[in-house]
Structure 1
Amino acid sequence: MTDGIVKGQAAPVELAQVWRGEFLESVHMGHAVVVDASGEVVKAWGDAGAVVLPRSSSKMLQALPLVESGAADAAGLSDEQLALACASHNGARAHVDRVEAWLADLGLGDDDLRCGGHMPKDPDEAKRLTCSGDQFCQVHNNCSGKHAGFLTLSKHLGAGPEYVEIDHPVQKAVRAAFEEVTGEESPGYGIDGCSAPNFACSLTGMARAMARFASADETDARGRAMVRLRNAMVTHPLLVAGEGRACTELMRAMEGRVALKTGAEAFFVAILPEQGLGVALKVLDGGTRGAESAICSILVELGALDPEHPAARQFQRPPLVNCRGIEAARIAPGRVFG
């Protein structure tokens, strides 16, 4: 582990474009990096040393202590539950029912979560709540699976209920794993939308962590935990996000060969076990459409994603349709991708 982060100086680059007719209307600028199994940068666009908050892209790292500690096995967690621990889900019944059952198995309930509640993104569940007059609960929060994982670890450790506090044993374990896997001492943290600490690192550090997930084997406890988490994600892509979401649809398109995870404010990571590569990217304007297009462009460049697959077309270069159903604009790869 390094003592800190040496920030690079490269300017951001154009990762995605928006065209309206013949006019380049908008650009999404940012940084991206690919790291190999040895921890070395093999490809970078922009500033590979930029200090970032990976947001929900770090959920696999946050779930490492859950598995490494033996808490997951002690609680009898399934691969579905581990996928939910890494998820930013839509709050569909497929997600909510499983989180509720998980909490019940722990002898806990919605009030024990510390993520807060919001209306689910899943249209069917949102309609059900609206029409029934029922209130959304914390299990509808897109991070409720991660928080169920935190509660599982907290119970295993015999720790207190305020598991999102920075000095709680759960978050101390998360920070230790985060720094070890990124290979960097984190310069600090921000509070995520779900109230948990989100630790900062360099973009290269995050890609290095993903490369370690990609190259992990089952020779030690950490390797076994990494393999189990990445396999849970690619085996249950619906639970990681939801129907129509980039993480779910692109993992399906690559038939389990790549694990993907988005993060708020246009962060994205990828784990490529067959190549032993990790990818991390950040679009500076926080625009999700830019990050989705850029991760597709990188996966295409690495030979992991067929550019003509419907899911690739849906997220790399989708049409932007107006209120009359007319294609008015389109997203395209940034010029750095040719």
Structure 2
Amino acid sequence: MANPVDLVEVWRGDLIESVHQGHAVICDAKGQITAAWGDPAALIYPRSSCKMVQALPLLESGAGRDLTDAQLALACASHDAAAIHVDGVGAWLRDMGLTDDDLRCGPQMPRDPDIRRALIKADQPICQVHNNCSGKHAGFLAFSRHLRAGPEYDQIDHPVQQACKAAFEEVTGETSPIFGSDGCSAPNHACTMHGLARAMAFFAAADDHSGVRAQAAERLVDAMTTFPELVAGENRACTNLMRAMGGKVAVKTGAEGVFVAIIPALRLGVAVKITDGATRASECAIAAILVRLGVLDAAHPAAKARMMPDQTNRRGIVTGVIKPAPALLAAF
């Protein structure tokens, strides 16, 4: 990945022990870059950070007309499989007359400790509804049902995925040159850092536009910010940061060090990619950018926990800190 820059430092005492490099782009409503670190043309997989883009056709088609905001938040979620997530997706499937077997995301051990312990204690199987992407897949099923298409909605040539690809290319403003199979088996299309930030800026400025797509984008952002606990889970960065910003900004993580932000008040979209894939670094970088943009209070516990978290040893002694690199802050 060409020309990444230092974005996050890990200090032990008075010595930098590790450095995370990457790329970050802030884009305005016109698609223009207002700030950048590293290479805006770097090609990446956005992974789960683009779930709101994948949910656009669900609403544009009319398939999601009667869905609740909670269901739309789940469609954009990388959830913990806590009870609120599993129950929500399970009810959604039942409403459609479908079962866990209709999902194509694969089973996953729940991240939520209570659900995980309960499954182990009862010797119950891990199901696909426990997959962190099961809400997105419920949305795919709703869209596929609306289209009366086949059951293999995760395949690249399926009408659902063709619609998702078209929406992705249109909001990023790019023709995606390649795709890969995501952890949940759905296609994930590559774009540049600029393209991903441009897509987030489109969501941020959706209410400046008319039309079905703009209305869909605005509703998805509203759903995410109204139900941040459904988008991720308790003590997760996405949930805690959205709460810390009073529901005025939508943020979404993705695997392998990706993080995005949608800031309607500023009409800005943000995209971050850490080249070594470290989540601790992507969380630090996105928090630092949100603080510098004035939408996140640096003193808020959710910001401090991501932007400047203390590093402790097994005795609870503070040994160092993770913090933004000078270059990340100097660009403003």
Distance (Å, rounded) in 1 between the aligned partners of 2:49 and 2:264: 17
Pairing 1:58–2:41 present: no
**Percent identical residues:** 61
Distance (Å, rounded) in 2 between the aligned partners of 1:185 and 1:332: 35
Pairing 1:78–2:68 present: yes
Instruction: Give SS of 1:81's match.
Output: helix
Pairing 1:16–2:36 present: no
* Residues 11-30 of structure 1: per-residue CA shift (max 9 Å, x gap): 21111110011110001100
Tell me how large the CA RMSD over aligned residues is.
1.0
Alignment counterpart, residue 279 of structure 1, candidates 270, 276, 290: 270
Instruction: Give SS of 1:103's match.
Output: helix
Pairing 1:333–2:327 present: no
Instruction: Give SS of 1:72's match.
Output: coil
Alignment counterpart, residue 265 of structure 1, candidates 253, 256, 261: 256
- The ranges of structure 1 where at least 4 consecutive aligned residues each deviate by more than 4 angstroms after the TM superposition are none
Residue in structure 2 matched with residue 4 of structure 1 by the alignment? none
Residue in structure 2 matched with residue 89 of structure 1 by the alignment? 79
How far apart are 1:128 and its partner, in Å? 1.0
* Residues 93-134 of structure 1: per-residue CA shift (max 9 Å, x gap): 010000000000000000000000111101111111111111
Residue in structure 1 matched with residue 18 of structure 2 by the alignment? 26
Pairing 1:197–2:193 present: no
Distance (Å, rounded) in 2 between the aligned partners of 1:26 and 1:273: 34
Distance (Å, rounded) in 1 between the aligned partners of 2:326 and 2:116: 39
Residue in structure 1 matched with residue 293 of structure 2 by the alignment? 302
Distance (Å, rounded) in 1 between the aligned partners of 2:23 and 2:176: 19
Pairing 1:98–2:64 present: no
Gaps of 5+ in 1: 1-6
How far apart are 1:135 and its partner, in Å? 1.4
Distance (Å, rounded) in 2 between the aligned partners of 1:236 and 1:12: 34
Matches within 5 A, 1:142-157: 142-157=132-147
Q: How many residues align?
A: 328
Residue in structure 2 matched with residue 3 of structure 1 by the alignment? none
One-letter identity of the residue aligned with 1:225: A
Give the TM-score normalised by the residue count of structure 2: 0.97
Distance (Å, rounded) in 1 between the aligned partners of 2:317 and 2:120: 30
Matches within 5 A, 1:105-184: 105-184=95-174
Distance (Å, rounded) in 1 between the aligned partners of 2:269 and 2:301: 24
* Residues 59-118 of structure 1: per-residue CA shift (max 9 Å, x gap): 000000001100001xx2100000000000000001000000000000000000000011
How far apart are 1:267 and its partner, in Å? 0.1
How far apart are 1:263 and its partner, in Å? 0.1
Give the TM-score normalised by the residue count of structure 1: 0.96
Distance (Å, rounded) in 1 between the aligned partners of 2:309 and 2:94: 41
One-letter identity of the residue aligned with 1:195: S
Distance (Å, rounded) in 2 between the aligned partners of 1:99 and 1:235: 17
- Farther off after superposition, 30-39 or 217-226: 217-226
